[in-house]
Structure 1
Amino acid sequence: MTEALFGLDTGQDDAARIMNRWIKNEWQAVEAALYRGKWFDYRFMNPVQATYLYAHEFVKAYKLAFSVNIDSEQARFVKPLDVERMFVEPEPKQDEPEKAFRKRAASHKMRTVGIWRGRMVADAMGIPYSVYLELAFHWTLRFWQQRHLPRPQQLYSDLVVDRATIGWEERQSAELFYSTLPQYKNGLYQEAMSMMTGDDSLEGSVLHAQNQHHEWLFAQCENRVNGHELLAQLVFHDQVLPLEKVKARLEDHRFEHFLSFANSEPIIQRYS
Structure 2
Amino acid sequence: MRLLAVKRADPEQGRIEEMCFAREILEPEDFDLEADLATLAYLDYRYMTPYERTEAFMLAYQKWYAIKQRDSRGRVGRRVQRAHLSAWPDARITMFWRARQHADALGVPYGRYIIAAMNKASDDGTSELPAPNQLYSDDVVAHVSKQLAGLFKSGTIPLLPRDCNPRFFSENYTGDPVQRGALDAIEADIRKTGKVNQAARLARYMRESRLISEDEARCRLGDDLVDAALGERLSNPVRPDQPLDEGVATRPGCFGYYRSTPNTMCGSCPVVTACIERSAVVDRVLLERYGTLDIRGLRNREGDRKRKQRERDRKRAGMTMTLQEERRVLRELGNPKLKQKRLKAKERRDGKKAKKQEVPAPEHGGTKSESQPELEPQPQG
Give, in whole Å, the separation in 1 of the partners of 2:227 and 2:51: 46
Q: Decide whether aligned partners of structure 1 residues 227 and 134 sit closer, same or farther in structure 2, where only a CA change above 3 A counts.
A: farther
- Paired residue for 1:153, among 133, 137, 141? 133
Q: Deviations over 1:93-143 (max 9, x none)?
A: xxxxxxxxxxxxxxx443222111111111111111111111111123221
User: In the alignment, what sits opposite 1:169?
Assistant: 149
**Residues 1:8 and 1:154: Cα distance change in structure 2 (over 3 Å):** farther
Supply the AA of the counterpart residue of 2:112: V
Which letter does structure 1 place at the counterpart of 2:55?
Y
TM-score, with normalisation over the residues of structure 1? Answer: 0.73
Q: How many residues align?
A: 222
Aligned-partner SS, 1:36: helix
2:74 match: secondary structure: coil
Give 1:201's aligned residue.
none
Task: Tell whether 2:170 aligns with 1:186.
Answer: yes
Given that 1:58 and 1:133 are in contact with CA atoms closer than 8 Å, whether structure 2 keeps it comes out as yes
Contact 1:139 1:160 in 2 (8 A): yes
Amino acid at match of 1:74: R
Is structure 2 residue 74 aligned with structure 1 residue 61?
no
Determine helix, strand or coil for the equivalent of 2:179. helix
State the alpha-carbon separation in 2 of the partners of residues 165 and 74 from structure 1: 31
CA apart distance, 1:254: 3.4
1:87 aligns with 2:86: yes
2:75 equivalent in structure 1? 74
Mapped pair 1:135 → 2:105: no
Deviation at 1:212, TM superposition (A): 0.8
Shift in Å, 1:87: 2.7
Shift of 1:80: 4.6
Contact residue 15 and residue 46 of structure 1 kept, 8 A: no
1:31 aligns with 2:30: no
Q: CA RMSD in A?
A: 2.5
Q: Distance in 2 between matches of 1:215 and 1:156?
A: 29
Shift of residue 57, structure 1, vs aligned partner: 0.3
Q: Which runs of 5+ in 1 are unaligned?
A: 1-6, 90-107, 194-206, 268-272
TM-score, with length taken from structure 2: 0.53
Shift of 1:265: 2.6
- Matched ranges for 1:113-124 at <5 A: 113-124=94-105
Structure 1 counterpart SS, 2:112: helix
Deviation at 1:71, TM superposition (A): 4.1
- Paired position in structure 1 for 2:334: none
The alpha-carbon deviation at position 23 of structure 1 amounts to 0.8
Which of 229, 234, 241 is matched with 1:264 structurally? 234
- C-alpha change, 1:36 and 1:250, in structure 2 (3 Å) is closer
Distance 2:104 2:113 in 1: 10
The residue number in structure 1 matching 2:182 is 213
State the alpha-carbon separation in 1 of the partners of residues 186 and 73 from structure 2.
38
Note if contact 2:22-2:51 (Cα within 8 Å) is conserved in structure 1: yes
Would the aligned equivalents of 2:121 and 2:129 in 1 still touch at CA under 8 Å? no
Return the index of the structure with the highest Cα Rg.
2
* Equivalence for 1:92: none
Letter in 1 for 2:51: V
Determine the structure 1 residue equivalent to 2:217.
246
Distance in structure 2 (CA, Å) of the matches to 1:150 and 1:174: 28
Relative distance call for 1:239 and 1:255 in structure 2 (3 A) is: closer
5+ unaligned residues in a row in structure 2: which ranges? 1-5, 238-381
Q: Report deviation, 1:219.
A: 2.5
Counterparts of 2:22 and 2:124 in 1: how far apart (Å)? 33
Per-residue CA shift, 1:145-176, capped at 9, x if unaligned? Answer: 3x322111111111111121122211111323
1:62 Cα deviation after fit: 0.9
- 1:16 corresponds to: 19
Identify which of structures 1 and 2 has the higher relative contact order when contacts are C-alpha pairs closer than 8 Å and 6+ apart: 2
Identity %: 21
Distance in 2 of aligned mates of 1:250 and 1:30: 34
Change (3 A) 1:250 1:52: closer
